[in-house]
A = this chain, B = another copy of it.
Amino acid sequence: MPAAWVFPLSADPPYFGVCVTKKRHTYSLIRKRKAFGINTAGPRMKKLIGQAGTTTGSKVDKFSQFKIPKEYGQLRVPLLKNSPVSIECRLVKEIEMGDHILLVGEVVGAVQRKKAKGIYQSEGSKLVEF
């Protein structure tokens, strides 16, 4: 799923956090697999973000539906081959955080495929390059 609330939490050991609501299909997948992948989004992925953000993996295989090239890291979670950077995390902690849940992952692998501008979400659904 496209997620805006993704951030570093520790340098050594390297931790990243992802904050989602429990109703997300992604949440149940991460709990099951005890792992997750973070894929940074480059400007060329704007259309895909809109598509993947308005469908749920509980009903649609997004990789097949939107023809998303993928590969697998050592934790067997799918990583996006078109993403500039992918980070693979082992789930180490879940923390209730108001109406969201913070999933803390320890980085076990990372790949930088290319340099790219980033994009961020602004005013609801607008995607802005930086």
Contacts and interface: CB of A to CB of B under 8 A. Distances in A.
A9 B13 contact: no
B7 A7 contact: yes
Contacts of A12: 98-99
A98 B9 contact: yes
A8 B98 CA distance: 11
Interface in A92-123: 95, 97-100, 102, 104, 118, 120
A36 to B, nearest CB: 17
Size bracket, chain A contacts: 20 to 34
Contacts of A97: 9-10, 15, 104
23 contacts: A5-B7, A5-B8, A7-B7, A7-B17, A7-B19, A8-B19, A9-B19, A9-B97, A9-B98, A10-B98, A10-B99, A10-B100, A11-B98, A11-B100, A12-B98, A13-B98, A14-B98, A15-B97, A15-B98, A95-B95, A120-B130, A128-B130, A130-B130
Given A9-B102, A128-B130, 14 more contacts: A5-B8, A8-B19, A9-B97, A10-B19, A10-B97, A11-B100, A12-B98, A12-B99, A13-B98, A13-B99, A14-B98, A15-B97, A120-B130, A129-B130
